[in-house]
Amino acid sequence: MKTEQDLKKVVKDRYAKIAMQDKAVNASSCCGATTPSNKVYNIMMDDYSETEGYVEDADLGLGCGLPTQFANINTGDTVIDLGSGAGNDCFVARHETGPTGKVIGIDFTPEMINKARANTEKLGYNNVEFREGDIDNMPVSDDIADVIVSNCVLNLVPNKAKVIGEIYRVLKPGGHFSISDIVLVGNLPDALRSDAEMYAGCVAGAIQKDDYLNHIKEADFENITLQKEKTISIPEDILCKYLSETEIKEFQAGQTGIFSITVYAEKPGSSVEKRKIKLSELESGSCCSPSSGCC
């Protein structure tokens, strides 16, 4: 496997190309980054088209979930989107936070930043901005975000623990994240694991599901919740680039699973808004007090 910097360059070069190609090409390939599948169907992405705030020009078909759907974004929140691409998740988040909030997209591909900024200007939003930078060294100050979202991006970063540490740093006390990502159960064949193109395609860079969740626990996040999980299948015409016919059959019949998961977690601390929400839940009977022993 290549070094961290080599892998980052592979991803940056690949996504610079993706920024300039048609969405239909992205949607019919593995996270937009490999040779298009002859079966021409979306391998990972979920359908955003009915989501409020959706902007078709900003949807490149690169996601593997709908993290903003689960992110509990409130009016006036400051939201950060990691790996913001052409801006789609930022615009969905902006619909939730409203004109009184702020949305910051971070991406390390200049072509994506340019595309996202052009989309923002067309929409006339003055509270959405895009910053070029690595998500394992975010160009933002400590304790500024109420919510962080990300869609199929952490799997592209070699040092995932460092990214999760950065998420903890920039969240306000009591803030939370909702992140969709690709994880594994079982080991990928070596040919898939070692190929840089498959790394850029979101599969080879995925780590074990338990390891992923443990990174979040070790960063001291609380209330870790698996909000959604779905199985990802790689079409044979992509697999055949890396595996023999026999190896494909063994892989498909084996115990290895590739999953898209959406994970929620909170940074310890308190906020006035969170206390209001919890009090409202108690008064409405939707939850119960910790002293009663049922929560």
Distance CA 149, CA 32 (A): 20
> DSSP string spanning 75-95?
TT-EEEEES-TTSHHHHHHHH
Q: Could you give the maximum distance between any two Cα atoms of the chain, in Å?
A: 61
Output the CA torsion sign for 51, 57, 61, 65: negative
The residue written with tokens 């190896």 in the block is: 247
Give yes or no for a contact between 215 and 177, defined as CB atoms under 8 angstroms apart: no
DSSP element (H, E) containing 147: strand 145-151
Where b means 16+ CB within 10 Å and e means fewer, 213-240 reads bebbeebebeeeeebbeeebebbeebbe
Determine the Cα angle at 217 with ends 215 and 218, to 5°.
Answer: 65
Residues in the chain: 295
Tokens found for residue 120: 């923002």
- Beta bridge partners, 257, equal 185
- Residue 43 to residue 275: CA distance in whole angstroms: 40
Q: Which residue ranges form the domains of the chain, and what is each CATH number?
A: 4-270 (3.40.50.150)
Give the bridge partners for 145, in sequence order: 171
pLDDT tens for the chain, 295 residues long, are 578 787 778 777 777 887 776 655 544 444 444 444 433 224 556 666 667 776 777 677 777 788 898 999 999 999 999 999 889 999 999 999 999 999 999 999 999 999 999 999 999 999 999 999 999 999 999 999 999 999 988 988 889 999 999 999 999 999 999 999 989 998 888 877 776 566 556 677 888 999 999 999 999 999 999 999 988 887 777 788 888 888 888 888 888 888 889 999 999 997 544 434 433 433 444 333 333 333 3
